[in-house]
Amino acid sequence: MTFDYDLFVLGAGSGGLAASKRAASYGAKVAIAEQDLVGGTCVIRGCVPKKLMVYASHFSHFYQDAVGYGWSPVEATFDWSKLVQAVDGEVRRLSRLHISFLEKNNVELFHGQARLVDDHTVAVDDRTFTAEKILIAVGGEATKPQIPGIEHAITSREVFLLPLQPKRLAVVGGGYIGTEFAGVFNGLGTEVFQVVRRGLILRGFDEDLREEVQTGMVKKGVNVLSDTTIEKIEKVPEGVRLVLKGAKDNSLVVDTVLYATGRSPNLEGLGLETAGVETAKGAIVVNEWSQTSQPHIFALGDCTDKVNLTPVAVAEGRAFADTQFGNKPHHISYENIATAVFSQPEACTVGMTEIAANAQYGEDGVKVYRTRFRPMIYALPNVDEKILMKLVVHKETDRVLGAQMVGKDAAEIIQCVAIAVTMGATKKDFDATMALHPTSAEEFVTLP
């Protein structure tokens, strides 16, 4: 049978872009369909615009800290609309750049809603195409719970284009998205209330890391409402009222409510049933080769709900293309994936948490090394800002099972530590590494 394309990709996000370009480099005839801006969640409404806003929220502290170094005080003002326009401009520039990369790699782009007609046919709006192989990389979407008044709340999709900066903001959710936005808006001068269903934010992360981040956020002015849920949301003249239930049953009035309580695979309207693609728990079922229940249909990234991170989707996409079109079969490992939370303070982790290590090896089989100190940059301004560093080590083999860090430059430092953890470095290897002084990073190789 003759097909229109060797590969048709549904979704021009990180995974779909990586797979399509790599497959085309092997000589495959490739097409990709996207109904939104090219770039996916990360570029359009995730990592990139969020990190730009994180940077923006830091500058108020820079002005204050500079006084300790002899700079005169600055009476700065902040323009929300200018930030929103600048961020949106950068997002659109990156989207155009990704389109140019597709063009250079001879990948044909179709703008529109794509769906499966059968196991070899894709429809994009009113056009249909056949393909020998199909890749689904449609990502995920923010979700909101079904409570009364939820229509008055926004998600991370809308937050980047708010016409006005809220004076009072409720962030619902203690995951990394909610925690990051709580820090962003607090740094920009908004009064922030973070509503957390349990006692601590960042469930699933190392306990020391969770406590350090939450303590730091509270110290910076974020109002964390622990053990609290929202029963309903009401529109009132002053804004929106949240009816709370938990540690303190009361109500809270704010300008804006941001829900960051979860994301789910974006599978609506894809026609998976007509193509015989199996799903489970709302996600596409795949094997280690990103293969679905249909042997010539594949899926990767957030729509499979494995590890929902941009670098993982990119790695999955490249591995898929190498295997299917490059005669270089391999699949990726999901172990020791470094994770950053661009909270304030920043937090990062790679490998095992202390709890996970104890569960696998027993408390007597694990040794933990930790340090907590004030980085040098905060000495002259006399800022009460700390860094936490932690290594989790297997006693029998001396192998470093995991590393955690909270504080300034955590993400930049953990990326390099992740290399050592992935290679199976031991605590003695860390100790044998000459320190680079004076830096915060040197503490990882001088832990007693």
Pure H helices in 244-381: 272-275, 310-325, 354-361
Instruction: Please check whether residue 431 is in contact with residue 445, taking contact to mean a CB–CB distance below 8 angstroms.
Output: yes
| Structural contact between residues 190 and 53, judged by C-beta atoms closer than 8 angstroms | no
Residues with catalytic function: 437
Burial of 247 from C-beta contacts in 10 A (0-12 / 13-18 / 19+) = exposed
The amino acid at 144: K
Spatial CA neighbour of 216 closest among 198, 197, 190, 194: 194
For residue 334, how many other CB atoms are within 10 A of its CB?
12
Shortest CA distance to 399 belongs to which of 359, 352, 441? 352
CB-based contacts of 421: which residues, under 8 Å, 6+ apart? Answer: 336, 350, 351, 400, 401, 402, 403
Cα within 13 Å of Cα(211), Cβ side:
6
Task: Return the SS3 of 41.
Answer: helix
Phi and psi angles of residue 168, each rounded to the nearest 5 degrees, phi first: -130, 125
Q: Is 323 left (phi over 0), alpha (psi -120 to 50) or beta?
A: alpha
d(CA 325, CA 320): 8
Closest CA to 222 of 252, 195, 256: 195
Q: What angle do CA 167, 169, 175 make, to 5 degrees?
A: 150
